[in-house]
Amino acid sequence: MTEDIDLIRVTGVDYVKDYTLDLEFSNGKAKRIDFLPLLKGKMFEPLKDMKNFVQFGLTHWTIEWFNGADFAPDFLYRQGVDA
């Protein structure tokens, strides 16, 4: 049986170190994600600078950075490892 995570939301975020964040999801699970390998493309390239990476916030459904960059919650859920 596979998990239905199409409507999942990020409900909490904690900075761990470097490019790693712990995310809490609306299904009650927590995932640890190293974002460095995900920072590709025009929107995400500026986040490779640590002073930019740490400028994130929690929106009503995911995390978003100062420049408007974000990831879909279901993508983040699949990328993470159990925290």
For residue 43, tell me if it sits in a domain: yes
For residue 2, tell me if it sits in a domain: no
- In angstroms, the CA 58 to CA 81 distance is 20
> How many structural domains does the chain have?
1
Q: Which amino acid is at 11?
A: T
pLDDT, one tens digit per residue, over 73-83 is 999 999 999 98
- In angstroms, the CA 63 to CA 83 distance is 17
Domain that holds residue 29: 10-82
- In angstroms, the CA 9 to CA 41 distance is 24
pLDDT at 7: 87
pLDDT, one tens digit per residue, over 23-75 is 999 999 999 999 999 999 999 999 999 999 999 999 999 999 999 999 999 99
For residue 59, tell me if it sits in a domain: yes
